Amino acid sequence: MITLHHFLFVSIILFGLGVYAVLTRRNAVMVLMGIELILNAANLNFVAFSRYGGLKLDGQMFALFVIILAAAEAAVALAIILNIYQRFNTINVDDVDTLKE
């Protein structure tokens, strides 16, 4: 029997992997993927809570919202990354550092 805890466990692993990817990966697209992982971990949570908590469809609805917004974000992000590639000829985030500290 798969319980809520299984879902939460998977979700927390996804979240952890996402954070790990954002913090360690230097390729901008990989970082973006890490962010997507975090968002989807949250989505999984929403749906699981909605299903197992005897709640109405709020959770599913929330997940739909998130998917849409994630898509919008990804579109903007890829556009930015494309531009970066044209200017810098690289998408390594460490190399994109001209503004002085």
Kindly list the residues in this chain that would bind another protein in the complex (CB under 8 A).
8, 11, 15, 18, 22, 28, 31-32, 35, 38-39, 41-43, 45-46, 48-49, 53, 55, 58-59, 62, 65-66, 69, 72-73, 76-77, 79-81, 83-84, 87-88, 93, 96-101
The two tokens of residue 24 are 């360690």
Report in angstroms how near the CB of residue 3 gets to another protein at its nearest. 13
Nearest to another protein of 1, 26 (CB atom): 26
- By C-beta, is 2 or 99 nearer to another protein? 99
Phi, psi (rounded to 5 degrees) for 76 = -60, -45
Residue nearer to another protein on the CB measure, 10 or 77: 77
- Cβ proximity to another protein, 2 vs 72, nearer residue: 72
CB-based contacts of 84: which residues, under 8 Å, 6+ apart?
Answer: 28, 90, 91, 96
Minimal distance, residue 62 CB to another protein, in Å? 6
**Long-range Cβ contacts of 47-50 (<8 Å, 24+ apart):** 48/4, 48/7, 48/8, 48/11, 49/4
d(CA 10, CA 65): 21
